[in-house]
Chains A and B, each alone.
Chain A
């Protein structure tokens, strides 16, 4: 069965500092991995995804993530945080048991705070 662990429910950084949000997954098949962002009182928006091919994936708003099979990780990074990056971030892996093969299993989320 698939599962996702996001290390740190709350991460705080200074504006201009590196953003690193951690995600580890468990999957019985080659994983499809996703990062979503949620701004206050909104739905989730896709940041980036890994399906196959290049393991370093670039997304919107300057974010990127690297798929590391040996570490079962898919950490999200951004070189320089901006105030507008303050949001909640969710890591997800495709699959999650019975029924449709197109379900996503989500981590519990990491709230990113950016300090001026």
Chain B
């Protein structure tokens, strides 16, 4: 089975810190995604990448950046963490272009900014 691993389940950071959320997938998927999930708002797409070094903004990219230097790793960066970035962050990857069978999600990182 495809595995998507997020480096931390729970994270507490201080306002103004630079925060790195790491995501690694092990099945050679082309596409990777970062979402944040908040009660009542569902999943909102922050950034996605469909190839190494390629990235595109999602619906709410402000305050975030991403890095994809290797195919298997997609990092989300909070340049200067703020309390309104307290949320559940979900990474996902999707199957190669020859077929699309939905996403595989990681277990999520619950980030608290204090």
Contacts and interface: CB of A to CB of B under 8 A. Distances in A.
A103 B42 contact: no
B105 interface: yes
B38 to A, nearest CB: 10
Report the interface size class on chain B: 20 to 34
Interface in A85-110: 90, 92, 94, 96, 98-104, 106-109
Nearest to B90: A43
A20 B92 CA distance: 27
A111 to B, nearest CB: 9
A109 B33 CA distance: 19
Contacts of B31: 100, 102-103
A26 B50 CA distance: 24
The secondary-structure label for the interface of chain A is loop
- Please classify the interface of chain B as helix (H, G, I), strand (E, B), loop, or mixed, using the class held by over half of its residues: strand
A40 to B, nearest CB: 11
Given A98-B56, A99-B56, A43 B40 contact: no
B102 A46 contact: yes
A13 to B, nearest CB: 21
Interface of A: 9, 32, 34, 36, 41-46, 49, 51, 90, 92, 94, 96, 98-104, 106-109
Interface of B: 4, 6, 9, 30-31, 33, 40-43, 45, 48, 50, 56, 90, 92, 94-95, 97, 100-108, 110
25 contacts: A9-B40, A32-B102, A36-B102, A42-B107, A43-B4, A43-B107, A43-B108, A44-B43, A46-B104, A49-B101, A51-B100, A90-B42, A90-B43, A92-B102, A94-B100, A98-B56, A102-B100, A103-B33, A103-B45, A104-B94, A104-B103, A106-B42, A108-B41, A108-B42, A109-B42
